[in-house]
Amino acid sequence: MCGIVGYIGMKDAFPILIKGLKRLEYRGYDSAGVALLNSEGELNVYKSKGKVKNLEEYCIGKDVSGTIGIAHTRWATHGEPNDLNAHPHYSQSENIALIHNGIIENYLAIKKMLVREGYTFKSDTDTEVLVQAIEYIKKRYDLTLSEAVQRTLKFVIGAYAIGVIEKNKPDCLVAARKGSPLIVGIGEGEFFLGSDATPIIEYTSNVIYLNDEEVVLLQRNKKPVVKTLKDEDVHHDIIKIKLQLEDIEKGGYPHFMLKEIFEQSKSLAMCMNGRLNTELMEIKLSGITTNIERFRSAKRIIITACGTSWHAALIGKYLFEEFCKIPVDVEVASEFRYRSPVIHSDDILIPISQSGETADTLAAMELAKSHGAFIYGICNVVGSSIARGTDSGTYTHAGPEIGVASTKAFTTQVTVLIMMALQIGRELKTLPEARYKKIVRELANINTKIEECFELSKEIRKISSVFTYARNFMYLGRGYNFPVALEGALKLKEISYIHAEGYPAAEMKHGPIALIDEEMPVVVVSPKLKTYEKIVSNVQEIKARKGKIIAIVTKGDVDIKKMADFCIEIPDTEECLTPLLTVIPLQFLSYYIATVKGRNVDQPRNLAKSVTVE
């Protein structure tokens, strides 16, 4: 989604802003722009369709001086991606410039009012309406910029994170947020703005997180002044973020996605660190320990998420039902929030989100909260909106995920769900102690097996080159590996643009089997499980119809190996842990197919890393 960077201090703002925009490229965008106030107080805005490097080229020879500025990468919502619709937007008089993430829902009504007042518009965006409204209110009530922002936002319905600067006001950077993330970085007499921490951490690890409906005024060498829309003063403690620069760089890999695939053993180790005690062979998540009575009395768990996180949620259902004997519903957040779901106060809602900012998951969480459900979050980004809105939860600690296609977020989400189910199942005595111990022992050792899966990368790269002809793929799995089949199909779709479908293997006979012919590659996720014999029959059915079979099997497999065109062997493990291993070859498969096809793996077309709009 769109990215925000801002700077006010003593340094040249332009290089900081451009570098910041580059750090935000991973979020997905289609145009970029920058606004700067030079030493004469003139306000210069430059923008360009396409990548940040286009903007840089466009700025050559232009006045990019100034120690205060705002910059933006835009992922089009209202209006096509072009120079006009790109941010920053000027107000009518060109005295104010504004960048915006989010959507102003009542922008048409505000626009109508402004048109009546003689305002004209150059773009199709809701953002231009906002900056015009700020100028209108500022003039009409003779307000300062921050007062005008405060007053205008009272009338705004929707989500926003904004940065605003004004001509001839070199010591005033105003920002505000509601529903879209915004972080203020605090340096020595200087400040940074970021829609996440990545453009900031190079300069400072001290930040404050603004809350919804707060406006901040940043001036050099002064404390940030934070107020609510109702003009109440707000104090925020400064938080130290742990992110390191190397965490957000490629570290020698050609793509973030590949780096993050290979990081999975490290991220799982961080995820289990301090939670899985290898001496006692037991699991303790503090959020579960504190709230175990909630889980004991829960009539139902609802897990809600989007995309890859929803696939992890589906695995959660298998886990909680098997180990904790608690009924589980898994809900796509965007559907859940607009149904009339029946939610009780003894329900537990688990939102799962890497970014912690996904608009639909956030709204689903708020809906469940308003019905009195207990909210237990699983998020990666510390301090994100979802993480802050929960009653309790467990961070995945995967480290920053920059690749748009989610990899390490998925495996750490599944790991958190496994740990939760094991701890709850043990406390509730629904999981026999011997079985608990056996799985915990295996989980403690899973990283060695994940690293064995990394060694498959060369073999998978070769297999991938065979299938670049394919226009369609089918992915099949059963039980714990049905969601993995869905995840494999999603990975392929999003980065290679090949159509792919995931199915529970036995469902194939009910329709999809009609698609099988000698052109159709079918990826069968079939490690040794209790339904192994059944999946062998499914593979026979594909073979009989000449489908090309790529099978993910357990080392030493005999039956499927005989039939498959390509067989990828993973180490043996407990059935409930197999998704942590089976997904890795599927991540490699999609990565290599996409790179052979020359796709932009880290910035696939039309996609955004965190979907902060509906």
The residue with its CB nearest to ligand F6R is 307
How many other C-beta atoms are found inside a 10 Å radius of the C-beta of residue 583? 32
Judged by CB under 6 A, the number of residues near ligand F6R is 15
Among candidate residues 2, 271, 324, 379, the one labeled active-site is: 2
| Type of residue numbered 169 | K
Terminal Cα distance for the chain, rounded: 11
User: Is position 611 an interface residue for ligand F6R (rule: CB under 6 A)?
Assistant: yes
Q: Which is nearer to ligand F6R, 33 or 502 (CB)?
A: 502
Per-residue x/- track, 328-367, ligand F6R (CB under 6 A): -------------------------xxx--x--x------
C-alpha–C-alpha distance, residues 200 and 260, integer Å: 21
Q: What does the buried/exposed string (b/e) look like for 316-336 if buried means 16 or more CB atoms within 10 Å of the residue's CB?
A: bbbbbebbbebebebbbbbeb
Closest approach, Cβ 150 to ligand F6R, in A, equals: 30
| DSSP 8-state code for residue 556 | T
DSSP string, 291-344: THHHHHH-SEEEEEE-HHHHHHHHHHHHHHHHHH---EEEEEHHHHTTS-----
In the numeric block, the tokens 């570098």 are attached to: 19
Is the link from the previous residue into 88 a cis peptide, with omega within 30 of 0?
yes
DSSP string, 462-530: HHHHHTTT-SEEEEEE-GGGHHHHHHHHHHHHHHH--EEEEEEGGGGGGTGGGG-STT-EEEEE--S-T
User: Is position 603 an interface residue for ligand F6R (rule: CB under 6 A)?
Assistant: no
In the numeric block, the tokens 């291993």 are attached to: 581
Per-residue x/- track, 476-495, ligand F6R (CB under 6 A): --------------x---x-
Helices (H) and strands (E) in the chain, counts: 21, 27
Among candidate residues 22, 47, 491, 609, the one labeled active-site is: 609
For the CA atoms of 272, 275, 277, 278, what is the dihedral angle to 10 degrees?
-10
Segment 398-457, which members bind ligand F6R (CB under 6 A)? 405-406
The residues near 49 (Cβ < 8 Å, ≥ 6 apart) are: 30, 31, 81, 82, 83, 86
Segment 278-317, which members bind ligand F6R (CB under 6 A)? 306-309
* Residue 268 tokens, joined: 């799982």
In terms of Cα–Cα distance, which of 530, 289, 309, 521 is closest to 419? Answer: 289
Cβ atoms of 356 and 380 closer than 8 Å: yes
Q: Which is nearer to ligand F6R, 47 or 408 (CB)?
A: 408
User: Is position 396 an interface residue for ligand F6R (rule: CB under 6 A)?
Assistant: no
User: Is residue 567 annotated as part of the catalytic site, yes or no?
Assistant: no
Q: Which is nearer to ligand F6R, 180 or 355 (CB)?
A: 355
User: Is residue 2 annotated as part of the catalytic site, yes or no?
Assistant: yes
Total residues belonging to the chain = 614
Q: Which is nearer to ligand F6R, 405 or 542 (CB)?
A: 405
Binding positions for ligand F6R, rule: CB under 6 A: 306-309, 353-355, 358, 361, 405-406, 490, 494, 610-611
* Catalytic positions: 2, 609
